[in-house]
Amino acid sequence: MQVAESCSVCQSLILAEVTRVGDLLDYDRGDWLDPLTLTWRSALSRPHTPRRVLQEVKATLPPAARVYLDRVLLKGTPRPPSTPGPPDLLIGPLPRRPNRPLHPFTASRLHELQPVRFQTAPRKHLYTFVLHTLHALTLVSRPDTKWRDLLPPLEGEQPRWASLYSTLVPRPVGDISWRLLHGAVSRGTYLARFNPIPDTCPFCGVWETLAHVYLECARLQLLFRLLSNLLLRFWLHFSPHLFIYALPVRGLTKSRDLLVNLLLALAKTAIYKTRERRLADGVSCDCGAVFRSSVHSRIRAEFLWAASTDSLDAFEEWWVLSEALCSVSPSGSLCFDPLIGGESKGPQPQPLLLWAPLP
């Protein structure tokens, strides 16, 4: 057989409740099933495949079986009860006690996964299930993020994994935030175990830990001051917790929350890229300037697109919130706020929040 062995054809046949040769017989007509009937029952668009299946099955039957089936059809044996479909197979985690202590915020999601019907389980669910089963013993004693120890969440706070990606955040930028929250970004103290490289910060020479690279290094303080000022315009206080764990996206403040998460993600990307560049070329880039430039170019690109597609209203709805980053003049031109590189119209506001490194 060829056609009848294909996975998709098998699936269609199971849908049509055809799991044995007897299911291909039409006892009322005393003949084999009409290919059109089989087409309809298996939700196929054309009778070509059912016709081939019938031909293949008939050709595969031994002569004695053909004779027997013809006799059954001729005598008009009453229709046997229809074959029940394949039994439901449920797949789910096998409860067992881990031999290592369970971390209160374990990275393992095995305990959350409910048994699902194997035949219809979404591919993503099966992938997660297999992954978490194979690595159950490792994941169960590991926290979901390294920052739980480095920067214990305050009351009511938790890592906002879902906020790291959105329609505003480009995938590679979201990936850096995601890796940072997992602690899966390179840093001197880790790489020095495998390569003959210094385990100190390439900017200030301090022992380079994860917290140093993304929170404590002196070079970041101007960037954080800039973020503090920007976030105040959205009535938010910048904090290391907000920076690492991201802002939850809530219905009423959705536009603001998405925009703030984009700013946080671009800031992390600026830190990541300037450090990579320093290690590669020895060039010292101001991460605040890189951040401003990326915000600037993103807004300009969005504005040009909106202007060319006559959708400036939608642009203003997303990007001109509280005029914190930019505004559109009555003549239709884009004006940036001085904080992100626009022309200053008066004295620069003094920062209201000063960043203090972690103790």
**What residues make contact with Zn ion under the rule CB under 5 A?**
201, 203-204, 217
Beta bridge partners of 335: 327
Nearest-approach distance from CB 284 to Zn ion, in angstroms: 12
Least Å from the CB of residue 228 to Zn ion? 20
**Comparison of 129 and 224: residue with beta carbon closer to Zn ion:** 224
Residue 189 backbone phi and psi in degrees, to 5 = -65, -25
Closer residue to Zn ion, CB minimum distance, 217 or 258? 217
Please give the Cα distance from 325 to 298 (Å, whole number).
11
Q: How far apart are CA 343 and CA 352, in angstroms?
A: 21
Torsion sign across C-alpha atoms 205, 281, 288, 158: negative
CB nearer Zn ion, residue 204 or residue 314:
204
Q: From the CB of 297, what's the least distance to Zn ion, in Å?
A: 27
Alpha helices in the chain (DSSP H): 7-15, 35-41, 48-60, 63-75, 123-134, 136-140, 147-150, 171-182, 188-191, 210-211, 221-232, 240-245, 254-281, 287-308, 312-319
The HSE-up count of residue 336 (CA atoms within 13 Å, CB side) is 17
SS3 326: strand
* Residue 214 buriedness (CB in 10 A; 0-12 / 13-18 / 19+): buried
Q: Which is nearer to Zn ion, 102 or 204 (CB)?
A: 204
Question: Shortest approach of Zn ion to residue 217 CB, angstroms?
Answer: 3
Rounded to an integer, what distance in angstroms lies between the CA atom of residue 82 and that of residue 13?
A: 14
Closer CB to Zn ion, residue 177 or residue 274? 274
Rounded distance, CA 259 to CA 3, Å? 53
Query: Smallest gap, in angstroms, from Cβ of residue 117 to Zn ion?
Result: 53
In the bound state with Zn ion, the residue whose beta carbon lies nearer, of 217 and 244, is 217
The helix or strand, by DSSP H or E, that contains position 91, with its residue range, turns out to be strand 90-91
The token pair that represents 121 in the structure block: 């389980």
Minimum distance from residue 264 beta carbon to Zn ion (Å)? 20
Indicate the residue among 168 and 217 with the shorter CB distance to Zn ion.
Answer: 217
The encoded tokens of residue 106 equal 């374990």
Our CB check for Zn ion shows the closer of 137 and 204 to be: 204
Least Cβ distance, residue 201 to Zn ion (angstroms): 3
